[in-house]
Amino acid sequence: MTSIDDDKITDDKITDKKLSEATTDELLIVVAKKVSRSLRLTENNPTMQKLTKLCELADELGISITFHQGGVCVVDNDRDDSLPDLYLEDIEPGHHVNNFPPCTEYKLIYDNPEYLVQQSREYYERRAREAAADAEKAAKAKAKAEVARRAAELEVSERERHVLATLKAKYPDA
């Protein structure tokens, strides 16, 4: 090991050669071992075989289940795509399905199309009101700016008339 100033005496004072060699040897052993964080089950493991059968059954039935923060979505490949999504929910309010198979009573639900239309209509009405309010604010700001511009023009015009009157008074023959 060398120091910044390449002074051998400084190096020997700062580092202990035996400690450095021991640490290096330990690092080499750790790197050589490379212990895996996880292990993979073989295909003939009983649990792996059960999971494979479950996946094959889901494929055969055309069903998939997706767990996400918003809930559990159930997709049935035989169902019409134009229909609303299906969700798996716990029967008890405030409880969530987060296991499969669910360990509590559950219900399969979908969004009411009438409700979705109503929500969409309310959303667009709210956006229209907000846009109208924004347009009104913009119009008021524009009118205020126009009044300020006219006032500034009037002030300049008054100043010019005053200067002109002063010059006429000072030079009446001109």
Encode pLDDT of 84-135 as tens digits: 889 988 888 888 888 888 888 989 898 888 998 999 999 999 999 999 999 9
Beta strand pairing call for 63-68 and 71-76: antiparallel
Range of the domain at 28: 1-35
Residue 101: is the preceding peptide bond cis (ω within 30°)? yes
- The verdict on 118 and 99 lying in the same domain is no
End-to-end CA distance of the chain: 96
pLDDT digit string, tens, across residues 137-154: 999 999 999 999 999 999
Looking at the structure, do residues 93 and 147 belong to the same domain, yes or no?
no
Distance CA 108, CA 99 (A): 15
Which alpha helices (H) appear in the chain, and where do they start and end? 8-14, 17-33, 46-61, 113-170
Q: Determine, yes or no, domain membership for 167.
A: yes
Residues 149 and 91 in one domain: no
Q: Quote the tokens at residue 169.
A: 């008074």
Are residue 6 and residue 24 in the same domain, yes or no?
yes
Radius of gyration, alpha carbons of the chain: 40
Q: What is the pTM for the complete model shown?
A: 0.47
pLDDT for 118: 95
Residues contacting residue 110 through CB under 8 Å, at least 6 positions apart: 83, 84, 85, 86, 87
* 138 and 166, same domain (yes or no): yes
How many domains would you assign to the chain?
3
